[in-house]
Structure 1
């Protein structure tokens, strides 16, 4: 009887960034690795798409596919998706978004990205918190759990009390587009030097502190020597108040909010930036850190959560709750060319340590563990 592995690919349709992007890179790299090494237990692999997904972006990598009708994050997902999966007869299911359907005779590998919905609940809607409350049950039922960082692993163990024996860490990697040497400048860049922030405008990303640090940085500088801050990302909780802050601080011309941008445009912004400014209060991984490093941009990021873990010694680490600490790092990157060059060199070495092929190989190893358990 054929061993069947099912990958829950529903978020490929619903989420073009975040976990959707994680799935595209991981599952595509998994196909390349499987072509060389084979699949665990000589299994066949099926990607389960949602019925509205006409693109089926992994069809070339994994031709075998199934169609599901249960939407991602549906209140009845636990049982409705489980009922659909019965007909596929999986030996193992990969549930990539914190919560799994009820296992009905199959093993489950669950991926956990972060615990912001518990640690910073005000950053999530009521419906989102209700859905992710299923993590505790899912963690107990999963055969193996993949966390994307040691920081997330520590959070998961602390909040759920599950056995550490079934939890593995598999790091993510930057989108390959950020490693391509392209000369095209960003359409959002001007002749001014600039720092760039990337992420949803919400309290967890700590944009307010960055804006306050910017106000301190430009104070007293001549008009032709004032850098600007370009903020890339969609509006989240509290975005309106954050966007009004530059006016309140008297620096309306020094901060620009440009909304969400394509990966190509973000890469162009990284390449021209004095640094990526990433003083987040909590992350599960922190992909912009590796993205910026791959583009040759220095990185200023937080000294906590997963950010210090991902950055290593290749970034300027700051206390994200101390405006002076953030401002000081920005000032040093701006005024100390030797320091900036050191960060660029270290960043290139650091980002090279994280690849999707490595993540795919380690994920397949976890699948094999789960099948053998």
Structure 2
């Protein structure tokens, strides 16, 4: 059995959850006797692939910020993927994103489509950058797919709500914990505050950072020893600096770049609580990462986070700053609760292993080949 993956998610991104998902799948399949795969990719700056022995794309980092160059390499990758599709040397096609270029090329070969979220469907009108107008294309792909992999039950319900789909085609295969946490303790090489609340990742659009920041302002003003650390996501924007400065908390809100998994592990391990106020996520890997590092989590209620954390998390209403404030204070000033949350988190983490994701995905492939 041979699976063909295409170029899409690896063309324009150095990092990102979707490229990490496919990278980890291929890593798990590499060297197995019961599955072969090919990644149809010629040009990429994706950092995960630096470590891969099954793909060696040409890098073009010096031109990475040039939109025209990116567009050119995207077209070349698409042409290469189209050629591989036309040759037909595969049993299953698994595209890595939602473009339609392959619909007239894949023929009758089985196709698996991974659906990560319904963000563009739910919030596309509020945040057009998420892909407003992408739903019609997704509907075409859903119709053509033989099996749809959903990364969570919440995403499955979203697919059923927003699309015409045979629910029997949807298989829920949760993501695994991809954070490479060594068995031995990570040395504390970072200079971090004694007490801090942690936010990780991008802060724009549906990530709901400004509502979270407003919830944190009265906590920080009251507790001058507490800090808010924002890991990754780029340096603060001018708007963020303005809000922080106006509140008089510029010495308590800190940005920390994430260089690698070791940086991330230290940020999680030493935080009083990790807060994920996102309006919606298809899965929510940072919740799983935090729990694997023994970090208590406070997260948005009524999302995929419920499936990951269950009783290990404290929940709030994402658009209610008072609800966020109450949840954060509940955790940071109760060491007994923190200890219970750490233990419950450790108990949840083994339920989400990267190898389990790969195993269940392989079962999907075999189901199609043996049908």
What's the TM-score once normalised by structure 1's chain length? Answer: 0.84
Matched residue, 2:206:
204
Q: CA RMSD in A?
A: 3.1
Q: How far apart are residue 88 of structure 1 and its match?
A: 4.0
CA–CA distance in structure 2, aligned partners of residues 115 and 53 of structure 1? 27
* In structure 2, C-alpha distance between the alignment counterparts of 1:346 and 1:146, rounded to whole Å: 28
- Name stretches of at least 5 consecutive residues in structure 2 with no aligned partner: 59-69
Q: CA deviation at 1:118?
A: 2.2
Q: Could you tell me how far 1:260 is from its partner in structure 2?
A: 4.7
Aligned to 1:247: 245
CA contact (8 A) 1:277 1:301 kept: yes
219, 222, 234: which one aligns with 1:220: 222
Q: Which has the higher contact order (CA 8 A, sep 6+)?
A: 1
The 1:161–1:132 alpha-carbon spacing in structure 2 relative to 1, beyond 3 Å, is closer
Match of 2:178 among 175, 178, 181: 175
Deviation of the 1:252 alpha carbon: 1.7
Secondary structure of the structure 2 residue equivalent to 1:256? strand
Distance 1:132 1:261, change over 3 A: farther
Deviations along 1:174-221, whole A, 9 cap, x unmatched? Answer: 22413544332252513x300111121113111112211211213333
**SS in structure 2 of the partner of residue 5 of structure 1:** strand
Mind listing any 5+ residue stretches in structure 1 that lack a counterpart?
none
Q: Secondary structure at the match of 2:148?
A: strand
The 1:22/1:298 distance shift into structure 2, 3 A limit, reads same
Structure 1, 354-363 or 13-22: larger mean CA deviation: 13-22
The alpha carbon displacement at 1:357 in A equals: 0.8
Once the 2 structures are TM-superposed, how far is the Cα of residue 142 of structure 1 from its aligned partner? 0.6
Equivalent pair of 2:228/2:252 in contact (CA under 8 Å): yes
Write the distance in 2 (CA, Å) between the matches of 1:159 and 1:264. 39
Bigger mean CA offset, 159-168 vs 83-92: 83-92
1:4 aligned onto 2:2: yes
CA shift in 2, pair 1:145/1:186, >3 Å: farther
Q: Is the 8 A contact 1:196 1:230 kept in 2?
A: yes
Indicate which of 37, 44, 47 corresponds to 2:39: 47
Give SS of 1:110's match. Answer: strand
Provide, for residues 76-127 of structure 1, a one-character-per-residue CA deviation record: whole Å limited to 9, x for no partner.
998984454111432211113244521323111011111212222244538x
264-273 or 47-56, larger mean C-alpha shift? 47-56
For 1:93, the equivalent position in structure 2 comes to: 93
Q: Residues 250-300 of structure 1, C-alpha deviation per residue, up to 9 Å, x if partnerless?
A: 222221233454222111110110011111111000000010111111111
Distance 1:261 1:206, change over 3 A: farther
Q: Which residue of 2 aligns with 1:351?
A: 349
Task: Kindly provide the CA deviation profile for residues 119-158 of structure 1, in whole angstroms up to 9, marking residues without a partner as x.
Answer: 22244538x5466752111111111110111111111111
Match of 1:290 in 2: 288
Q: What residue number does 1:114 align with?
A: 117
Asked if the contact 1:13/1:20 (under 8 Å) is kept, the reply is no
Contact residue 9 and residue 49 of structure 1 kept, 8 A: yes
Asked if 2 retains the 8 angstrom alpha-carbon contact of 1:113 and 1:284, the reply is yes
- Distance change >3 Å, CA 115–CA 51, structure 1 → 2: same
TM (norm. structure 2) is 0.85
Is the contact made by 1:99 and 1:132 (CA closer than 8 Å) also made in structure 2? no
- Contact 1:299–1:315 (CA under 8 A) maintained in structure 2: yes
